[in-house]
Amino acid sequence: MAYSAKVLVDSASRVGDRLRIGQFAIGFLLLSVITSLPEMLVAIFSVNEGVVGITLGDIFGSNVVNISFVTGLTLLIGRKKVTSVPLRDLAGVLYFSSLIPIILSIFKVWSRIAGLVLIAFFVLFSYLSIIKGQRLASSEKSSVKLRRDIIIIAMGAVGIVVGARLAVDTAASLADLLGVTQLAIGAKIVSVGTSLPELVVALQAARLGRYQMSLGTSVGSNLTNMTLILGTVFLLAPIQVNVQSLQLATTFVLIVTSTFWYFISRGTLGRIEGSILLAQYSLFLLIL
């Protein structure tokens, strides 16, 4: 699944470059949705198998992994501090993402209406991002290359489908074998596997000095998880959820996003901030 996602992400990056979309926009609009395909497929397969707890754990766990582990590791191995990120947009997205678990905890009822609202938020954020992005009329030469990359993207998506299905089946069996909750398996194990695409693109972007693309991918993936994917789960499985069982996971989502938001508001991200985020992820693994 990670290899397929890498091929898919590389092709998507080339598409974004040919369209002259900024680094952050590529990460936020294009790569975040593509790298969230594993979470989406895990959600669909989990609902179909009747193991919704796995996908709920995966969604919240992936958000913790994306910010604390993926971004933390990227900052830790980076050679310079980041000071040129679009602070206002990034802070706004982080704030909205961190509020979603709190809202769900207050209402305690997850229904199709909630699912539609979350998906509507995803569409709204996507639209606002698109109209702020740059546009370029494609030439005859670039259109040929675009078609080739689209084919490669489709092939990579097939590999992700297969990998996601295996991840759900294995996680369900492991939960039964170890006698632990599906939520814990989803948050600790499945979330790491489905976050591998984000890790791959973040490390590659950092190696090339494209930190805005890396941050856009991580933050965009979190927003995608909390709106499009969680909304899809509600539409497919409109059930009441014991929010108390998700309290720890949602608390950690709020902690890591608030911490990252604070770092962003200071205008600088470096190795010290990366170390703090990684420490929070270690605490998440120990407590959950």
Q: What is the pLDDT of residue 278?
A: 94
Beta bridge partners, 82, equal: 269
The CATH number for 228's domain is 1.20.1420.30
Domains: count for the chain: 1
The domain in which residue 156 lies consists of 2-287
Closest CA to 201 of 185, 187, 219: 219
The sign of the torsion formed by the CA atoms of 29, 121, 157, 70 equals: positive
Query: pLDDT by residue (tens digit) across 2-25?
Result: 566 566 667 766 766 666 666 666
Closest CA to 218 of 10, 81, 32: 32
Query: pLDDT by residue (tens digit) across 51-86?
Result: 777 777 888 888 888 889 988 888 887 655 665 556
Query: pLDDT by residue (tens digit) across 33-53?
Result: 777 877 888 788 878 877 777
Length of the chain in terms of residues written: 288
126 pLDDT band (50/70/90 cuts)?
confident
Beta bridge partners, 269, equal: 82
Contact 237, 95 (CB under 8 A): no
Q: Which residue has the higher pLDDT, 100 or 88?
A: 100
